[in-house]
């Protein structure tokens, strides 16, 4: 325990986004499934919005130089044929919120290796704790006990002297199980109830 907050000392604190969002998959086999995967995790959605912003800059640069350096200065036919696709992608990516989804769909199956790898790279990168309000409630050493005791019957919680706190005030991200009686009394209650855990 740390103060009154119950912690699982066997759980290490998350270091990467993958530690925080253990359920995010990075092997989608269809573009629409990949979109659903990304939309299910808000910090990952922001990451894809950033990728889309970078892609927009690349597409705009490519459109500026889409004339081949022919000696006579005439446009290259293949380049001109590619322009409508780039213009469509540019227009889609100008939607800062949802352009990434159109990008994923336009790339189709051939784009899946890149997008799945982008998810894997993000999962392996350090988690940003300034965005902890968007973390799952059950993450880390505090989240496991919270989820465990939140699903326990109220009369058992009362016997153990545990209170489940779901936000100390409006907008609070503090979700925890707190022990409100001495450890000795809580352990005696756990033993009397035949529960397979003890506090320390």
How many helices and strands in the chain, by DSSP H and E?
A: 9, 2
**How much is the pLDDT for 8?**
81
**How much is the pLDDT for 78?**
60
Left, alpha or beta for 100 (phi > 0: left; psi -120 to 50: alpha)? alpha
**How much is the pLDDT for 11?**
76
Which pTM does this prediction carry? 0.71
Rounded to whole angstroms, what are the CA distances from 77 to 30, 67, 70, 191?
Answer: 32, 9, 11, 81
**How much is the pLDDT for 67?**
56
Left, alpha or beta for 31 (phi > 0: left; psi -120 to 50: alpha)? alpha
**How much is the pLDDT for 147?**
80
**How much is the pLDDT for 79?**
59
pLDDT in tens, the chain (200 residues): 445 888 887 777 889 999 999 889 999 999 999 999 999 999 999 999 999 999 999 999 888 876 554 555 555 556 567 788 899 999 999 999 999 999 999 999 999 999 999 999 999 999 998 888 888 877 777 778 888 888 889 999 999 999 988 876 666 777 888 899 999 999 999 999 999 988 88
Question: Is 176 in contact with 146 (CB distance < 8 Å)?
Answer: yes
């Amino acid at each position: 325990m740390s103060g009154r907050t119950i912690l699982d000392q066997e759980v290490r604190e998350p270091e990467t986004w993958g530690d925080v969002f253990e359920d995010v998959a990075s092997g989608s086999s269809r573009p629409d499934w990949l979109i659903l995967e990304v939309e299910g995790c808000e910090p990952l959605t922001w990451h894809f919005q950033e990728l889309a912003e970078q892609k927009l800059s690349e597409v705009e640069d490519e459109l500026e130089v889409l004339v081949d350096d022919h000696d006579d200065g005439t446009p290259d036919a293949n380049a001109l044929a590619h322009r409508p696709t780039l213009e469509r992608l540019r227009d889609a990516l100008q939607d800062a919120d949802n352009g990434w989804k159109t990008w994923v769909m336009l790339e189709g199956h051939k784009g899946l290796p890149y997008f799945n790898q982008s998810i894997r790279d993000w999962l392996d990168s350090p988690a940003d704790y300034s965005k902890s309000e968007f973390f799952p409630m059950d993450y880390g050493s505090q989240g496991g006990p919270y989820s465990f005791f939140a699903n326990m019957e109220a009369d058992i919680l009362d016997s153990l002297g545990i209170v489940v706190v779901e936000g100390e005030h409006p907008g609070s991200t503090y979700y925890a199980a707190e022990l409100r009686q001495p450890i000795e009394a809580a352990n005696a209650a756990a033993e009397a109830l035949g529960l397979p855990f003890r506090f320390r």
